[in-house]
Amino acid sequence: MTSSTAAAGGSSTAAPLSLCAREPRVPADRLVAEMVPPPRFDSVRFDTYVPDPAQPSQAEAVEVLRAFAAGIGDDAGAAGGKRRWFARRPAAQAGPRGVYLDGGYGVGKTHLLASLWHAAPAPADRKAFGTFVELTNLVGALGFQQTVRTLSGHRLLCIDEFELDDPGDTVLVSTLLGRLVEAGVALAATSNTLPGKLGEGRFAAVDFLREIQGLSAHFRPVRIDGDDYRHRGLPEAPRPYPAERVTAAAGATAGASLDAFPDLLDHLATVHPSRYGALTDGLRAVCLTDVRPVSDQSKALRLVVLADRLYDREIPVLASGVPFDRLFGEEMLNGGYRKKYFRAISRLTALAREAEGLIG
């Protein structure tokens, strides 16, 4: 599907696009090729991270990661310059082979993880960056053994938003990481400490290290304290707009999509989460009408994945209905998937701020 073209004055010459009309197909090789920092974090570096002076752990984390990046060697020139994609390298090296960034929402963990990827002295095709969900999707697309063979030739694997609430997927990825550590791949991961648990010690780190069991010796936990930068010093999140204004903005914005929120939730059930990124290809804005609380957990979790992909791709979200901080009820926010729901609220709120410029 192609994006609508812009007419004079910035208006669209065609009707808005629709996410519900898209049924993307993503070949497995694209899943591997796209394991790089998303557009939002394409240009971030350690130097562009601004530590909060009130939170010394932030500056300390930068220094730890700089040193870790410098220790990631590259043997691309070995064996006559040929890449040893399937060569096994000794895992026993000085210091941990992995770092784990432990902190709350919006303290810049993904910024630092992407900066580590950029700083690691290895070619881009020998470094991989993806979310925990994207990694499990890759295993589903390629199979476990082929995923091991593909990633074993890498020097670094960065995993954003390591999930601790799905035992099956956690064990799967833990086994995968064990094989990669044996092959000499350096690892880096992030996860979240719940807002209510901040200040109570390494809650997330303890969970992480327990879940990955035998891999714990390979990771150095790095604590990052602080407030959510997406809401630091900013006004209250924008309230939803009337449906007619959202519809008008969609029609006046080239490359914007327009969908009813309930219809979109139903459509997401027909698209595999690994294709949600492709679902947003070419979009410059997402406009939603009739946003309402989500009580079905399956629908809520699919919405979380879509929110992550929209945030990664810097696609603003303009909506009518209930505010994004009312998407999930108290029971869901206190349940097993609460980390995901809090992250989705934080990111959708940031995208709603970015969409304010669409209203003329």
List pLDDT tens digits, range 63-91: 999 999 998 865 443 333 333 322 334 44
- Looking at 9-23, 221-235, 317-331, which range is the least confident one? 221-235
Q: Is the pLDDT of residue 11 over 60?
A: no
Of 192, 224, 256, the last residue of a domain is 224
Regarding whether 200 and 259 lie in a shared domain, the answer is no
User: Looking at 189, 224, 259, which one is the last position of a domain?
Assistant: 224
Q: Residues with Cβ < 8 Å from 295, sequence gap 6 or more?
A: 329, 332
Does the pLDDT value for residue 188 go beyond 50?
yes
Lowest mean pLDDT of 26-40, 105-119, 120-134, 190-204, name the range: 190-204
CATH assignment of the domain containing 215: 3.40.50.300
Instruction: Assess if residue 30 is contained within a domain.
Output: no
- Domain count along the chain: 2
What pLDDT, on the 0 to 100 scale, is given for residue 293? 96
Distance CA 293, CA 326 (A): 6
Within-domain flag for 263: yes
pLDDT at 17 over 60: yes
The answer to whether residues 195 and 292 belong to one domain is no
Give the CATH number of the domain where residue 294 resides. 3.40.50
Same domain, 252 and 276: yes
Residue 244 and residue 318 in one domain: yes
The answer as to whether 35 is a domain residue is no
User: What integer pLDDT is reported at residue 342 of this predicted model?
Assistant: 86
Yes or no: say if 112 and 104 are a contact pair by the CB < 8 Å rule. no
Assess whether pLDDT exceeds 50 at residue 6.
no
Domain that holds residue 171: 53-224
In this prediction, residue 164 carries a pLDDT of: 64
Split at pLDDT 50, 70, 90, the class of 7 is very low
Structure-model confidence comparison of residues 326 and 171, the more confident one: 326
CA atoms within 13 A on the CB side of 89: 21
pLDDT at 3: 37
Last residue of a domain, one of 202, 224, 246: 224
More confident residue, 300 or 136: 300
pLDDT of residue 59: 95
Place of tokens 């990669």: 180
**195 and 258: one domain?**
no
**pLDDT of 199 higher than 50:** no
Whether residue 209 is found in the same domain as residue 240: no
Which amino acid is present at 244? E
Q: Per-residue pLDDT for 1 more than 60?
A: no
Q: Is residue 269 domain-resident?
A: yes
**76 or 349, which is more confident?**
349
State whether 97 and 13 are in the same domain: no
Residues 270 and 315 in one domain: yes
**pLDDT tier at 26, thresholds 50, 70, 90:** confident
- What percent of the chain shows pLDDT beyond 90? 50
Question: 42 lies in a domain?
Answer: no
Residue 180 lies in a domain: yes
260 versus 312: the higher-pLDDT residue is 260
Give the confidence band of 230 by pLDDT, cuts at 50, 70, 90.
low
Which pLDDT does position 233 carry in this prediction? Answer: 52
Q: Is residue 40 part of a domain?
A: no
Judged by average pLDDT, the poorest of 14-28, 56-70, 122-136, 199-213 is 199-213
Q: Kindly state whether residues 89 and 118 are assigned to the same domain.
A: yes
Assign 295 a pLDDT band (cuts: 50, 70, 90).
Answer: very high
- The Cα-based distances of 239 to 174, 318, 321 in angstroms read 41, 10, 9
User: For 22-31, 238-247, 285-294, which range has the lowest pLDDT when averaged over its residues?
Assistant: 22-31
Q: Please state, in angstroms and rounded to a whole number, the distance separating the CA atoms of residues 171 and 166.
A: 9
pLDDT-above-70 percentage for the chain? 78
The overall average pLDDT reported for the chain is 82
- Residues 202 and 248 placed together within one structural domain of the fold: no
Q: Which of 79-83, 157-161, 328-332, 349-353 is the least confident region?
A: 79-83
Please, are residues 158 and 129 in contact by the beta-carbon 8 Å criterion?
Answer: yes
Q: Is the predicted pLDDT of residue 127 greater than 50, yes or no?
A: yes
The alpha carbons of the chain give a radius of gyration, in whole angstroms, of: 21
Sheet of strand 317-321: strand arrangement: 256-260, 285-291, 317-321
Same-domain pairing of 255 and 304:
yes
What's the pLDDT band for 227 if we cut at 50, 70, 90? confident
Contact 194, 342 (CB under 8 A): yes
Are both 214 and 350 inside the same structural domain? no
